[in-house]
Amino acid sequence: MAVMGAGGAAAIATGAGAVGAMSTQTYLGAKGNGGRQSAGDVLRSSNGVLRVQLAANLGTVIVNKEATPGLTTYNGLFPAPTLIVKPGDRLEIRLINNGGTATNLHFHGMHVSPRGHQDNVFIEVEPGEVHEYDVRIPPDHPGGLYWYHPHHHTTSGPQVWSGLSGLLVVEGGAGSRPEIKGLRRRLIALREGGIDTDGYWADYTTLTPDETQLYVNGRLNPRMNIRPGETQFWQIGNIGVATYYLLQLDDHEFTVIEEDGSPVWKTWQTPTLFLSPGKRYGVLVTARKQRGTVRLRQLGYNQGKAQWPERELMRLRIDGKPGQSVSVDRNFGSPPAWLDDPIAQRRVLTLSQSVVDGVGEFYIDGVMFDNLTFDDVIQVKLGTTEEWVIRNASSKSSGGPENEEHPFHIHVNDFVVVEQGSWDPVTNEVSNRQFIDPRSQADTVNVPWNAYVRFRTHFADFIGRSVYHCHLLFHEDHGMMGIFDIVNADGEGAGPGQRLPTHQH
Ligand SMILES: [Cu+2]
């Protein structure tokens, strides 16, 4: 297989911060915009394939212009290179594990097969091994912002923290609509980290929220530009391990046109954007007419256990000749047809946690996932629509050690949230029921403590075994994950056997 070899990797490494292989759409990058404003390097598919080599290496990398030791990154880049593909493409990734713990790859939010050499989280690439991924992106795959990161049980958190996460864009979607296609675009990767007192990348879970730094495309408080009155299309992803963001751009609004990689069917305007770990939004931002500088802020967020403080994330300079303003209709598309399907099955999953012998344990339905015993597998049928209630019993009032919110995420297929409300884990009483008029689909939804969300989901196209879990990676690594099998009428798709051989290199 012709992969991008050492030469390609070297070219990637030396091109840090530059934008390569630009083609049909204009992403704002290094050139002419006053600095590195893209999410690092961009690797774009051509002729139906994106072939890349990602080598996970421990070493010294440039973080916010400073050479920083102690990170593990793909190809020496922080953040990881942005991958841009089209519907119908093949994504061929040669993953080399030069790190110290087993790893693999997950393509967060992608509607691709969970089996074989694709979005298969049961692959284990041990230190010194290589795995060749070959992901077939369906021709009708939604266009939008996704991301990729390791998903090896027990090591996802430390590996992502250490530098292993990057953006993945599928072209098309909201960004390809006539009124939006010509706008300048920005990819904004949010992720946390920090430097310890010796100048090394801090160890995982050693920094408090106050000590944690919030990086925008690998930079602290970068500058970006916009013209007076100009509308830009921003795709923002939270590709970190734990930080909750409540974003606000001074004196401006966001118009949401994309959520979790899919165009919304009803747009909305909001002064703030809420992104739990794993969450993405695509928004239109129109600069006010006056020149000047405005700030993108993290307003801060109380997750229960973690209190994320207010921070300035980025400065946006409004300057230059007046730009083109664009507005979009509220009606932007159609909801998925399956939303009105009969419900084939209803399920309730309960998230909870405790402390046993001083160690935090995290559960779904009282079971702590261990990747060894698969006796609580949910089986769903291909082509059916189900309704799931996810409820959060991680609260002191129900006997837990903490109040904690949990961002619930499921692989392979999106869902549509139709209801949310309060739930008392002790009395099982439901209150404050809010029926939602849905306007978008999602792959990640935050569930506050003593509360629930209800969503509908449809199991289309792919059979196989995959997972649902909390996207606070510490919780996932310590048990808040479960397995489901998507099976067809012949029962295919069930069971183990997705662990594939890897080889030394
Ligand atoms: Cu959690």
How far does residue 188's CA lie from ligand 1's centre (Å)? 24
Given a cut of 90, whether residue 420 has pLDDT beyond it is yes
Q: Using CA atoms, how far apart are residues 169 and 38, in angstroms rounded to an integer?
A: 13
Q: Using CA atoms, how far apart are residues 101 and 346, in angstroms rounded to an integer?
A: 38
The token pair that represents 462 in the structure block:
């792919």
Bigger pLDDT: 251 vs 41: 251
Given a cut of 50, whether residue 15 has pLDDT beyond it is no
Please report, rounded to a whole number, the percentage of residues in the chain having pLDDT higher than 70.
89
Residue 496 makes CB contacts below 8 A (sequence gap 6+) with 122, 374, 465
Give per-residue pLDDT as tens, 260-277. Answer: 999 999 999 999 999 999
Given a cut of 90, whether residue 25 has pLDDT beyond it is no
Using the structure block, give the residue that is written with the tokens 């046109």.
Answer: 257
Q: What is the pLDDT of residue 38?
A: 47
Radius of gyration for the alpha carbons in the chain, expressed in angstroms and rounded: 22
How far does residue 156's CA lie from ligand 1's centre (Å)? 14
Give per-residue pLDDT as tens, 355-365. Answer: 999 999 999 99
Give per-residue pLDDT as tens, 282-340. Answer: 999 999 989 999 999 999 999 999 999 999 999 999 999 999 999 999 999 999 999 99
Residues lining ion ligand 1 (Cβ < 5 A) are: 406, 470, 472, 475
Find out whether 231 and 326 touch, Cβ atoms under 8 Å: yes
Find out whether 194 and 205 touch, Cβ atoms under 8 Å: no
Domain ranges of the chain: 6-173, 179-318, 337-487
How far does residue 190's CA lie from ligand 1's centre (Å)? 19
Residue 457 makes CB contacts below 8 A (sequence gap 6+) with 385, 386, 387, 388, 410, 413, 414, 415, 416
Q: CB-side exposure of 308: number of CA atoms within 13 Å?
A: 24
Given a cut of 60, whether residue 401 has pLDDT beyond it is yes
Tell me the CATH class for 6-173. Answer: mainly beta
How far does residue 366's CA lie from ligand 1's centre (Å)? 14
Superfamily of domain 179-318: Cupredoxins -  blue copper proteins (2.60.40.420)
For residue 116, the tally of other CB atoms under 10 A from its CB is: 15
Taking every pair of C-alpha atoms in the chain, what is the biggest distance, in angstroms?
A: 64
Tell me the CATH class for 337-487. Answer: mainly beta
Using the structure block, give the residue that is written with the tokens 């097969």.
Answer: 113
How far does residue 153's CA lie from ligand 1's centre (Å)? 15
Please report, rounded to a whole number, the percentage of residues in the chain having pLDDT higher than 90.
87
Give per-residue pLDDT as tens, 445-460. Answer: 999 999 999 999 999 9
Give per-residue pLDDT as tens, 44-82. Answer: 999 999 999 999 999 999 999 999 999 999 999 999 999
Give per-residue pLDDT as tens, 128-175. Answer: 999 999 999 999 999 999 999 999 999 999 999 999 999 999 999 999
Q: What is the pLDDT of residue 495?
A: 74
Bigger pLDDT: 116 vs 374: 116
Q: CB-side exposure of 374: number of CA atoms within 13 Å?
A: 16
Q: What is the mean pLDDT of the chain?
A: 91
